[in-house]
A and B are shown apart, each in its own frame.
Chain A
């Protein structure tokens, strides 16, 4: 049973466009929602994270939107750049530092 569902599996966006990745979770005990960026042959890197007490968090060109009632959260990459081409994973846990459940990943390709 996949507790965190991520979509789409892949997306292509033009340079300067907005990349949007969506995740949905089932476990209402989840209280911490991080996003990771992974380049080929490398380990994931923590990008940005949000807790349910806020509906949006922005760090640079990356924004997380959170909808607690719908049990959904999304990552928006503004002004997408070719260097943003990577696989992105959403995740959820009961607290920061706790066990993480990952989504299946989204491969993003930014075309110049």
Chain B
């Protein structure tokens, strides 16, 4: 049980380049999310998924795409990187048993620098 894994740990991009941040979980969790964390602003939701084939936008979706073809994977794509996307990106997965307490885990994060 590896929990939530994210790759890469660190990435440097030039403005205009594209890339995919990978996120995987092996806990069969139905809910997965992507957040970005910027100093003094907490975490902001980028995209969200309640299951394979179902995604929804969060607070700051512009410039990012997601897809959820399997329960395990939830990649985040930067279409054309901009310096404003310099941030730390966290993927999270969660499970909510009926009438029970939520179980949620965050990945270790991907630090992205866009030059």
Contacts and interface: CB of A to CB of B under 8 A. Distances in A.
B106 A100 contact: no
Contacts of A9: 40
B102 A104 contact: no
Contacts of A45: 105-106
Interface string A10-45: 000000000000000000000000100000011111
**Chain B residues touching A, majority SS:** strand
A45 B109 CA distance: 12
B106 A43 contact: yes
Interface string B37-57: 000111111001010000010
Interface residues of B, number: 30
B59 A97 contact: no
Contacts of A34: 102, 104
B42 A6 contact: yes
Interface residues of A, number: 22
Interface string A66-106: 00000000000000000000000101000011011111110
Chain A binding site: helix, strand, loop or mixed by DSSP? loop
Contacts of A105: 40, 42
A42 B108 contact: yes
A82 to B, nearest CB: 23
Q: What are the 8 closest A-B residue pairs judged by CB atoms, nearest first?
A: A43-B106, A102-B42, A97-B96, A96-B102, A102-B43, A46-B104, A104-B42, A97-B31
Interface of A: 4, 6, 9, 34, 41-46, 49, 89, 91, 96-97, 99-105
Given A44-B106, A46-B102, 13 more contacts: A41-B109, A43-B92, A43-B107, A43-B108, A43-B109, A44-B43, A97-B50, A97-B95, A97-B96, A97-B102, A101-B59, A104-B41, A104-B42
